[in-house]
Amino acid sequence: MSSSSSSSSQMGELVADKHVRYILMSEKKKESFESVVMDHLRMNGAYWGLTTLDLLDKLPSVSVDEVVSWLLTCQHESGGFAGNTGHDPHVLYTLSAVQILALFDKLDILDVAKVSSYIAGLQNEDGSFSGDMWGEVDTRFSYIAICSLSILKCLDKINVEKAVDYIVSCKNLDGGFGCTPGAESHAGQIFCCVGALAITGSLHHVDKDLLGWWLCERQVKSGGLNGRPEKLPDVCYSWWVLSSLIMIDRVHWINKAKLVKFILDCQDLENGGISDRPDDAVDIFHTYFGVAGLSLLEYPGVKAIDPAYALPVDVINRILLTK
């Protein structure tokens, strides 16, 4: 962070066109080790890339049919989606698939009963959710289940009260949340828990001042946010910390201008893309979280994103306001 090098000194603007080109190109680059190692979560990658394009108002440059027909090859008989064709289903990829179809206004091609049964079937007796048939439990999966089912308008398929109780049982003395009861608070997990509580109208379970305290202590001197105490700042936490602060109405507790500058400092001004920290290598994950963070910060030229559903506000309105 000490190296606010000369190359980034004239920054101050989002190079949106370059990020668009970076995203469109990255889908074509399949030769690197990174892309081979990442192909089991291609569904997540597609969601990150496509949502970024939509936030920058460039979704029409993608072939809807191509994406949707590939997406459908990832669906299992069980109703769940895999990260790529021929892989096993998991809720992590199922949410991304639902979100992608929502972006394209194509939810009607889904067999909603099947997808929602898959998700609802993963709820456990104590209200928690497993990520797949192998049983690992995590509040991330609670969020995913609640978010997907809400988009599909089938929240009645699960026991919402128990799901909420379980999430609340993962609250720590510092006001944050972990992946299971007693697990360490982590900004990513906090986003999931607060998001799930927001969607189900249960935010009264959150001690907003206490959680806000923990969250605003994530901002470090450079203006960036970290995800846990003593960690380095990272662009992806711009999303997790910020969206949580917005949902609990405490976003004015951090220095927004400094955070905007930190995110803009992480851009590759030549080839597009955003990295975790200034001068690191860019990737699609941090490009999405950087742009989404700027959206939450109301940066000009970026569409507004919903902090709970992680989809553009116009997409969410289209879904939730229509029957």
Which residues share a beta bridge with 82?
89
Mask of contacts with another protein, 123-142, x by CB under 8 A? ---------x-xxx------
Q: Does position 184 bind another protein by CB under 8 A?
A: yes
User: Which residue has the CB atom at the shortest distance from Zn ion?
Assistant: 236
Beta-carbon count within 10 A of 322 CB: 7
Which of 21, 76, 87, 261 is close enough to bind another protein by CB under 8 A?
87
The one-letter amino acid code at 177 reads F
CB of 217 to another protein, least distance (A): 7
**CA diameter of the chain:** 57
186 binds, among another protein, Zn ion, none (CB under 5 to 8 A by kind): another protein
CB of 260 to Zn ion, least distance (A): 17
Cα of 229 vs its chain's centroid, Å: 21
User: Which residue pairs, CB below 8 angstroms and at least 24 apart, start in 296-303?
Assistant: 296/238, 296/239, 296/242, 296/243, 296/246, 296/251, 297/242, 297/256, 297/259, 297/260, 297/263, 299/14, 299/260, 301/14, 301/16, 301/56, 302/14, 302/16, 302/55, 302/56, 303/54, 303/55, 303/56, 303/57
Which of 114, 154, 169, 213 is close enough to bind another protein by CB under 8 A?
213
82 binds, among Zn ion, another protein, none (CB under 5 to 8 A by kind): another protein
Q: Does position 183 bind another protein by CB under 8 A?
A: yes
Q: Does position 283 bind Zn ion by CB under 5 A?
A: no
Q: Rule CB under 8 A: which residues touch another protein?
A: 31-33, 36-37, 39-41, 82-83, 86-88, 90, 132, 134-136, 173-174, 178-180, 182-184, 186, 209-210, 212-213, 216-217, 219, 228-231, 250, 252-254
